[in-house]
Amino acid sequence: MPANKKYLLRTRLGRTSKILAATIGSFLSTASFHVALLFFFDKSKVLATALYSIFISWVLLMLMVYYVKRPWVSWAVLVFILFLSVFAIYLGKTP
């Protein structure tokens, strides 16, 4: 009944990496994504949505991290979102 071990990550490094990606990594990319949206759309509306969507998207990213097999692939997705958002924030901040 408990999950079959042969499908789980074996190395401690891999597991830790995924936990960090699911918690901190997912948060950083979802938060930066929402902040980036604030620069380009109606602030009030984006913020009103972000009040709940930040948590939903955070959890969805957590699911993504575990859906992907290799830790570095999930990190790549997260870092991609993060870089895209940071770039957008940079564009938004420089007049």
Partner 1 sequence: MNQKRRIYNVYFNTHTVTGIAISIGLFVIFLAGAYSLFVREINRWQDGVKKQEYTTDIDFERVMDTLAQEAYQLEGRTISISLREDVQNHIRVRSEALTEAKDTVKLFSQKDALARTAIFMEIDPETYRIEERGRNQETTRLGTFLFHLHYFGQIPVIGIRIAGLVSLFFAFAILSGIIIHWKKIVSNFFTFRIKAGIKNLWMDAHTALGVLGLPFQFMYAITGAFYGLILLLYIPVLVIVFDGDQEKLVALLQPKIEASTDTITTSYNDTSINGLVKRALSRLNRSEVEFMSVLITNYGKQEAELVFTAQMNSQKHFMNNVVTTFQLSDGTVLSHKPMDENSYLDLSTSTIFKLHFASFGGYLIKALYFGLSLITCFVILSGVLVWLTAREKKMYAHKAKFNRNVGALFIGACMGLYPAIALFFCLVKVFPNNFDQMSNVFFLFWLGYTLYAFFIKSPFKINKYALVLGGVLGLLVPVLNGLQSGLWFWKSLSMGYPDSFFVDIGWLVMGSLALLGAYYAKPVEKKIKSEKGVTNESLVKI
CB 21 within 8 A of CB 13: no
Query: CB of residue 80 vs partner 1: minimum separation in angstroms?
Result: 19
Distance from C-alpha of 5 to C-alpha of 18, rounded to nearest angstrom: 16
DSSP 3: P
**Distance in angstroms (rounded) separating the CA atoms of residues 91 and 48:** 23
Name which position in 16, 24, 40, 56 contacts partner 1 (CB under 8 A): 56
Question: Quick one: which of 54, 64, 79, 84 contacts partner 1 (CB under 8 A)?
Answer: 54
CA dist 69 and 74 (Å) reads 8
Residue closer to partner 1 by CB (options 1, 94) is 1
Residues that bind partner 1 (CB under 8 A): 1-4, 7-8, 27, 31-32, 34-35, 38-39, 43-45, 47-52, 54-56, 58-60, 62-63, 66-67, 69, 89, 93
